[in-house]
Chain A
Amino acid sequence: SYVLTQPPSVSVAPEKTARITCEGNNIGSKSVHWYQQKPGQAPVLVIYYDSDRPSGIPERFSGSNSGNTATLTISRVEAGDEADYYCQVWDGSNYVLFGGGTKLTVL
């Protein structure tokens, strides 16, 4: 079965750029969605279809997807970006997969 692999944690200083990866076999052929989840809250969609941003999500959030790696990039990181981030794809037409999640720490 298909597997999505994310690093457990990423640390970044404020105002720097954070990159969170999501690896999967030929993931570039799939559409990848990214969610942000803060403690005690429901997930929030931050990137859909690899690189589109929902309304209300800052332009600092961007995404890319090619080959075996999809990447969520957060520019000019702020303290409020500290959260868990999950990538998600569809495995076939009816089944959904999430990556294991990455905890972003703002130093």
Chain B
Amino acid sequence: QVQLVESGGGGVQPGRSLRLSCAASGFIFSSYAIHWVRQAPGKGLEWVAVFSRDGGTKFFADSVKGRFTIYGDNSKNTIFLQMNSLRAEDTAVYYCTRVPLGTTNGAFDIWGQGTTVTVSS
């Protein structure tokens, strides 16, 4: 079964860090770029970051650049989103999703169920 499963969300104080995980199964992990998309409460979808293992591609939205990093664990088919210096505006449900490598305009065909991050003092 093709699946993406996020974990690691929770409550955290402003300025602190949190690491989210996205575990992939049921497909050839190395053939896809993994993206993170978030949704603040009552708001729309916002793209956050992308990671692909082939060339170590890593790109970030301006809103998180310099605070978030992304990396992969090949042995576990897992992508991690390391979120540092968290702000209240980072509060959101974080989804991971995939797009085939080699496409510059592909669609996100599989999404995880999401993990919730709440940044509050």
Contact = CB atoms under 8 A, between A and B. Distances in A.
State whether these chains interact. Answer: yes
Contacts, number: 58
B26 interface: no
Given A42-B113, A94-B57, A94-B59, A101 B105 contact: no
A42 B35 CA distance: 14
Nearest to B113: A42
A79 interface: no
A31 B105 CA distance: 7
Contacts of B114: 42
Interface string A62-106: 000000000000000000000010101110011111111100000
A101 B50 CA distance: 22
A90 B109 contact: no
Interface residues of B, number: 22
A33 B108 contact: yes
Interface in B57-83: 57, 59, 61
A49 B107 contact: yes
B108 A101 contact: no
- Grouping DSSP codes into helix (H, G, I), strand (E, B) and loop, the A interface class, with mixed when no group exceeds half, is strand
Contacts of A7: none
A54 B109 contact: yes
A86 B107 CA distance: 12
Contacts of B107: 33, 45, 48-49, 88
Interface of B: 35, 37, 44-47, 50, 57, 59, 61, 95, 97, 104-109, 111-114
